Amino acid sequence: MSDNFYRAFEDRYRGSRDLIKSRLAAYAPFYAPLAALYPGARVLDLGCGRGEWLELLGEQGFQSFGVDLDDGMLAACRERGLQVELTDALSALRATPDSSVAMVSAFHLVEHIPFEMVQDLIREARRVLLPGGLLVMETPNPENLVVGASSFYMDPSHLRPIPPPLLDFVVGFAGYARQKVLRLQEAKQLHEGHPIGLIDVLDGVSPDYAVVGQKDAPPEVLAPFGAPFAASYGISLSDLALRFEEQDSGRRAELHQALGRLGDRVGRREQADSANFDTLHKGLARVAEGVENNRLRHDAVEPQLHALHAGAAQLRLQQREQEQREQQAQLAHLALQTQAAAFQDSLNALAQRTGAAEERAAQHQRRVEELLDSTSWRVTAPLRMVTGYVYRLRNAARDGRIVPGIKRRFTPPLLALMRALLRRPRAKRTALAMLRRFPGLHARLYGVLRRGNNPPPPPPPAAPFPPSASLDDLTPRAQRIYQELKQAIDSRKN
């Protein structure tokens, strides 16, 4: 091992100097009476390491001296002014005179050397100790299963763990007056009565232990050390295993009691459940009976349901047909409204035309009334009468209702009458003036006069008619005036 490696390893895994010194205070019941017995005595620490134990003993008034094979560890001691030497443990012991030191200590050394050297170390330490002097050897405790199976081998220089009974036996076999096993550094809560678990059995045992041997001396010398050697230290594997078993037994007893109580509750529950099951079975039977009845009723009602569904389908079909009819009716109504609007528009137009026709009829009526009330109408009355007779005779002759002889008999007198009337200047002027206002009448009279072989008076310039003019040749307006004049003459005659 290089010097720096083991020192770095100790710094990481062993703990700080203050922590180690606080742990070493567990040996106070032993070194305190020794300091009183041998004030300023010399002590030898084998494998002194970083020197925490040397420093603590120096504080108690001892002359401490340490040896080690790791120069890196010794450098840490020299930094604090401690007396150390680079040599092995047995060589240092063999170089020490008999009965010259009050204490020989070896912390975590014996697991690094062969067992034969451990025996030699114990014998040589007894030789150099003063009467009542102490041998202190600390080492990892393999009773801690985690330490013995795992963490012990973290240090590559460890050879094998040494069980506490073996190291205790070797010390007693070497001739020490008495020896004591101290189990160290266990967790404090394990002493406070808290429940423990399996992990505590595996890893809760004191991880380190020490064997303290005392060289034989007179009783008055050994007396101050009686109490420390009689005390109990730490927790062993058997202690934790027994506590765990007792705790487990108590838990099992509690579990059995709980199981008994649970069994009683289960029994009562089973009885209650049995009664509930009976009630449930009866209820289920009633439910099954009700289900069967419902099924029968359903079978009876099912045809009615089918009929209802069919009726509902028919009703939906009728509703759709009714909706279609309503839609058609609405369309027809809209068409009728459209036609009514068009008809109303036609009526309005017809009313307008009717009103215009009525207005024109009223105008014609007024004109007829004015004509009938006029002087010319009264003056030409004889002429119109004669002309009417002439036309009737003519039409009768044409239709064969009179014989030609009668026509010949009556025509000349009528023509003579007309000519006589026309010879009167005043009557002639009046007749001509009237005829100018009625061109159609003038043409008819002209035709009659021509058929009587007498030339008529010259026609009005504005209305020349052909020689063969008749009533059918008149315009509709002239025919209407003629009919009105004829009706007026007939009404006056009657």
Give 52-93 pLDDT, tens digit per residue: 999 999 999 999 999 999 888 899 899 999 999 999 999 999
The pLDDT, as a whole number, for residue 46 is 97
Distance CA 63, CA 54 (A): 9
Out of 64-73, 91-100, 319-328, give the one with best mean pLDDT.
91-100
pLDDT at 196 over 90: no
User: Would you place residue 419 in the very low, low, confident or very high pLDDT band (cuts 50, 70, 90)?
Assistant: low
362 vs 386, residue with greater confidence: 362
The pLDDT, as a whole number, for residue 225 is 97
445 vs 28, residue with greater confidence: 28
Give 344-353 pLDDT, tens digit per residue: 887 788 778 8
User: Would you place residue 403 in the very low, low, confident or very high pLDDT band (cuts 50, 70, 90)?
Assistant: very low
181 vs 308, residue with greater confidence: 181
Tokens of 35: 């300091």
Out of 20-24, 376-380, 452-456, give the one with best mean pLDDT.
20-24
Of 237, 247, 246, give the one whose Cα is nearest residue 186: 237
Distance CA 461, CA 444 (A): 16
Angle 367-369-370 from CA coordinates, rounded to 5°: 60
pLDDT at 105 over 90: yes
pLDDT at 446 over 90: no
Q: Provide the pairing of β-strand 178-184 with 84-86.
A: unpaired
7 vs 299, residue with greater confidence: 299
pLDDT at 392 over 80: no
Range of lowest pLDDT (23-32, 42-51, 186-195, 423-432): 423-432
287 vs 69, residue with greater confidence: 69
Distance CA 183, CA 178 (A): 17
The pLDDT, as a whole number, for residue 464 is 45
Phi, psi of 123 (to 5 degrees): -70, -45
Range of lowest pLDDT (254-258, 276-280, 332-336, 421-425): 421-425
Phi, psi of 464 (to 5 degrees): -75, 140
Q: Which helix (H) or strand (E) holds 252?
A: helix 237-373
Distance CA 260, CA 220 (A): 62
The pLDDT, as a whole number, for residue 467 is 46
- The SS3 assignment for 80 reads coil
Give 213-269 pLDDT, tens digit per residue: 999 999 999 999 999 999 999 998 888 888 888 887 766 766 667 677 777 787 787
Q: Average pLDDT over the chain, rounded to whole?
A: 81
Taking residues 163-178, report their average pLDDT: 97
Phi, psi of 450 (to 5 degrees): -65, -40
User: Would you place residue 321 in the very low, low, confident or very high pLDDT band (cuts 50, 70, 90)?
Assistant: confident
Taking residues 121-126, report their average pLDDT: 98
Taking residues 269-281, report their average pLDDT: 79
User: Would you place residue 401 in the very low, low, confident or very high pLDDT band (cuts 50, 70, 90)?
Assistant: low
Range of lowest pLDDT (5-14, 163-172, 263-272): 5-14
Handedness of CA 202, 206, 209, 214 (dihedral sign): negative
Distance CA 334, CA 353 (A): 28
Taking residues 359-380, report their average pLDDT: 76
Distance CA 180, CA 29 (A): 12
325 vs 357, residue with greater confidence: 325
Q: Which amino acid is at 92?
A: A
pTM: 0.52
Range of lowest pLDDT (263-267, 311-315, 325-329, 454-458): 454-458
User: Would you place residue 204 in the very low, low, confident or very high pLDDT band (cuts 50, 70, 90)?
Assistant: confident
Taking residues 97-121, report their average pLDDT: 96
Taking residues 320-333, report their average pLDDT: 86
